Amino acid sequence: MANIGVYIELKGDLFKKSNREALGLAKKSGKDVYAVLFSNTPEKYTDELKGIKKIICVKGSDLTYNPALYADTLANIITQFDLTYFVGICSAQGKDLFPRVSAKIENASLLNDCVAVDIDNNRFTKPVYAGKLLSQFVIEEGFRMATLRPNIFQAEPVSGDVPEIVEFQPVSKEDKSRIVEVIKSASKKIDLTEAEIIVSGGRAMKAKENFNIIEDLAALLNAGVGASRAAVDAGFASHDMQVGQTGKVVNPKLYIACGISGAIQHFVGMKTSKIIVAINKDPEAPIFKKADYGIVGDLFKVVPLLTEELKSRM
């Protein structure tokens, strides 16, 4: 029986929610599941990893994300434990790391940003042409690697025995680069790729300080705050808030677009949202053709009213 490995991505010491979705896919395959993580304290995550075969824990004096070190180590683990399938999150780190790993393994294939995976038939589905089409790929042989779009796959309930922990030493075949400094954001923003609700603002926000009304609504809904490229280019929002073809691809249960026209570059980044609500004073804005619900009105009046109404119902 082929083994399936899951790369467990940690944000600091935090076990990312999307890991549960990758684990759910792996468990449903019926294969032996191996979780791979870089941590000196794997015991912190055993409750999340119950019911799998083994935890392969990479320990070291410095486990700060280093692409070369991580890629060499994962390539060794995949081949040594014969992880014929290896999956992870299609996050910024996943998109940086997985191509490096696949390039180091002979006869390995990689598909990024998968929205459906059929392990039994080796079939992987992902968006192509800026999300206009879905294409199916079959990897017939070799090592099969994939990153999964967050909020698409079903997370399975955690159950079963605590798995065996196997320690593994980090390996690096090259030392052409090193991490000099990691500067972390001081804010406590919700990760947009994992957010179940997102409130986004566009160029119509007019100024950076006007995003306060978006943030008030988002705080009430425990939502992430996003922005269109136009808002980012205008300096109203930071780049890490950008949703779209050149920003982040998101898949929340609810996406509220405030003052966003609905250009295709933005739409491809949020088109798989379960419900889209648009607020725009232009009744001809393209976003209304794509939204499930639309409000024609001035966002500076509508959004505060919506916030107050929600407060009164909580």
Phi, psi of 150 (to 5 degrees): -65, 155
Contact 161, 51 (CB under 8 A): yes
Question: Mean pLDDT throughout 160-172?
Answer: 90
Give pLDDT, residue 19: 96
CA distance 106 to 98: 14
Q: How confident is the model at residue 214 (pLDDT cuts 50, 70, 90)?
A: very high
Give pLDDT, residue 311: 93
Q: Which pLDDT tens digit goes with each residue over 244-302?
A: 988 999 999 999 999 999 999 999 999 989 999 999 999 999 999 999 999 999 999 99
Q: Which domains does the chain have, with CATH numbers?
A: 3-168 (3.40.50.620), 197-312 (3.40.50.1220)
Over the chain, what is the mean pLDDT? 92
- Per-residue tokens: 37: 């993580």
Q: Which of 77-81, 189-193, 194-198, 303-307 has the lowest mean pLDDT?
A: 189-193
Q: How confident is the model at residue 174 (pLDDT cuts 50, 70, 90)?
A: low
Cα-to-chain-centroid distance, residue 302: 30
Q: Which of 78-87, 137-146, 189-198 has the lowest mean pLDDT?
A: 189-198
Q: Which pLDDT tens digit goes with each residue over 80-95?
A: 999 999 999 999 899 9
Contact 192, 241 (CB under 8 A): yes
Give pLDDT, residue 185: 64
pTM: 0.87
Indicate if the pLDDT at residue 186 is higher than 60.
Answer: no
Indicate if the pLDDT at residue 79 is higher than 80.
Answer: yes
Q: Which residue has the higher pLDDT, 223 or 62?
A: 223
Contact 244, 262 (CB under 8 A): no
Q: Which pLDDT tens digit goes with each residue over 193-213?
A: 999 999 999 999 999 999 999
Question: Mean pLDDT throughout 50-54?
Answer: 94
Cα-to-chain-centroid distance, residue 231: 22
Give pLDDT, residue 103: 96
CA-closest candidate to residue 35, choices 24, 169, 102:
24
Question: How many other β-carbons are positioned within 10 Å of the β-carbon of residue 138?
Answer: 10
Q: Which pLDDT tens digit goes with each residue over 219-228?
A: 999 999 999 9
Q: How confident is the model at residue 175 (pLDDT cuts 50, 70, 90)?
A: low
